[in-house]
Amino acid sequence: MGVFDSGVGGLTVLHECLVTLPHEDFLYLGDHARLPYGPRPLDEVRRFAREIGAFLEAQGVKLVVAACNTATSAALPQLQEELAVPVVGVITPEAHAAVQATRNRRVGLLATEATVEAGRYAELVRTLDAGVEVFSVACPRLVPLIESDDPFTAETTEAVREYAMPLKAAGVDTVILGCTHYPLVRPIFQRVFGRDVTLVFSAEETAREVAETLARKGFENDASRQGGYRFLTTGDPDVFRTMGARFLQLPIPAVERIELAELTAAA
């Protein structure tokens, strides 16, 4: 299976996939050379996602996971149309989980600028329950802080508090952590919002949808085999390996570098 993200955030999704589907093989691609996706125009992110999707399909994967909320927001329908293999994004599982979790039908979303601008979460939530109100806040400072050497600083807590204020004022009882980086500092979010607010994030929900899709299509590997995984980056392999282990919570033995020209050629 192919899994991609703009960087290492999608490794939080890969971790859950590895735990849920230990008998499957995974190929993860982090597009570090073009990180971050969040502040970029949606059409540019859409082009990147289509290049990566075509590249992964050419590697022979049987399913593609867009483990990036920004890429899912920008390009999921196009990927599903263009690729011959199933494509799973991280937004639908989260929207579904949020609608199930909310009691007062007021849901908050914290995400990148591009994800908020795309408006996909609000659309999906309304489709599932037209009575649920979604309050969205763009959080441009969070990804750089979470990718820093020490994400658990007063500065990160302060940024989360700032972004949480309008959601608290709106009285939300459920908050979607709409970026695959955010679960890494989940304790900070939980501390800021308190126990009465349910936090929803993509990793477990997405892994469940991947497992269900494989089962439905009859694509599963034999449950008795041991799966493997490979890592590719368009950036610096050493940086990927060091930072990635923190997100994956498993060893990353080797990382291969690929040129952007290989991605553009695939598309």
Length of the chain: 267
| Residue among 199, 185, 175, 173 nearest 142 (CA) | 185
Catalytic-labelled residue, pool 179, 203, 243, 263: 179
Q: How far apart are CA 97 and CA 202, in angstroms?
A: 9
Q: Is the dihedral of CA 243, 245, 248, 249 positive or negative?
A: negative
Quickly list H helices, the chain: 11-20, 42-58, 69-82, 91-101, 113-118, 120-128, 142-146, 154-170, 186-193, 202-217, 237-248, 260-266
User: In degrees rounded to 5, what are phi and psi of residue 222?
Assistant: -60, 130
CB 248 within 8 A of CB 15: yes
3-state secondary structure of 41: coil
Q: Does 68 participate in catalysis according to the annotation?
A: yes
3-state secondary structure of 231: strand
Catalytic-labelled residue, pool 17, 35, 68, 122: 68
Q: Does 139 participate in catalysis according to the annotation?
A: no
Q: Is 89 exposed, middle or buried (0-12, 13-18, 19+ CB in 10 A)?
A: buried
Catalytic residues: 68, 179
